[in-house]
Copies of this chain bind each other. A is one copy, B any other.
Amino acid sequence: MTVISVHAPSHREALWELESAFERGDLITVFGRCTVSYAGRAASELGVGDRLLILKPDGAALVHTDEGRTPVNWQPPGSTHHAAVREGRLRVRSKRTNPAETLLVRFERVHQLSAMSVTGGRDLELHGSEEDLRTRVLERPELIAPGFEPVSTERETAAGPVDVFGVDDAGDPVVVELKRRRVGPDAVGQLARYVAAVRDELTGDGEFLADHEAATADDSVRGVLVAPSLTDRAADLLADRGFDHVALGPPADAGESVDALADDSDDSDDLDDSNTTAGSGSRPDESA
């Protein structure tokens, strides 16, 4: 692990450090006054201002201002970074193809440049995803409906893959769509697409069904939306389509964990605390 850091470098110095860092495969941060141009899937211009540029060895580039979780401009991993000095400015260009996109950052001044070697420690253990919800449903199918039996997951249809496909106690096919959070009309539309596709499939030309039988088959494909909650509109649409809602979310490990992490009431040890409060919130604690 090595860190290089230069304060207010000349453009030539900055360029040299960038080149070195590129070769080493370092994670680079450049803080300075710059303008940013982007062109590709869309196009954008950003006027002069102080920003933080992050260049990753995998080709990702991020331009951050003092606000927002999302970079104001960026380039995805797989891009190629270039640096040069031209017209008295340090230019960092990041290009990629497919789609063709270019990000150009022009520094009129570099306040600080750092480069650090980073390796490994990238695998995140995440709980509470939709996959966890599916696991839960498969372990306890009766949560969907009495006598529900899962047949397959990710079952392919003409409209896309169904999360869980199964049969109810009457032997009727059931299409289950899982959502880890509160859902709106789009989720109902998604479920409707899948149900329609399964219907078409089961009543398709290849089948020997009289009209009345086909009609019966139509109605017999059930749709179930599993989600912690629905918006009003989603509930209306769901009812219109004759689908069901099962109120269920991912296992609630998260809820308890929050308290564990958030808990700082037992600050018995050592040095403590400073805080900053976001936006229009209260002022930071002045020293106690």
Task: List chain A positions with a Cβ less than 8 A from chain B.
Answer: 1, 3, 5, 7-8, 12, 15, 18-19, 22-23, 25, 27, 29, 31, 33, 37-52, 54-60, 62, 64-69, 71-87, 93, 95-96, 100-104, 111-112, 114, 116-129, 158-160, 180-181, 185-186, 188-190, 192-193, 200, 233, 236-237, 240, 250, 253-254, 257-258, 260-262, 264, 267, 269-279, 281, 284
Contact = CB atoms under 8 A, between A and B. Distances in A.
A239 to B, nearest CB: 11
A225 to B, nearest CB: 14
A118 B50 contact: yes
A19 B58 contact: no
B233 A160 contact: yes
A85 to B, nearest CB: 4
A96 B262 CA distance: 10
A82 B264 contact: yes
B284 A46 contact: no
Nearest to A52: B27
A102 B274 contact: no
Given A42-B254, A44-B124, A45-B124, 20 more contacts: A22-B284, A23-B284, A27-B64, A40-B258, A41-B181, A46-B125, A49-B120, A49-B122, A56-B66, A57-B66, A59-B276, A62-B69, A69-B71, A72-B122, A72-B124, A93-B264, A101-B258, A111-B116, A159-B237, A189-B192
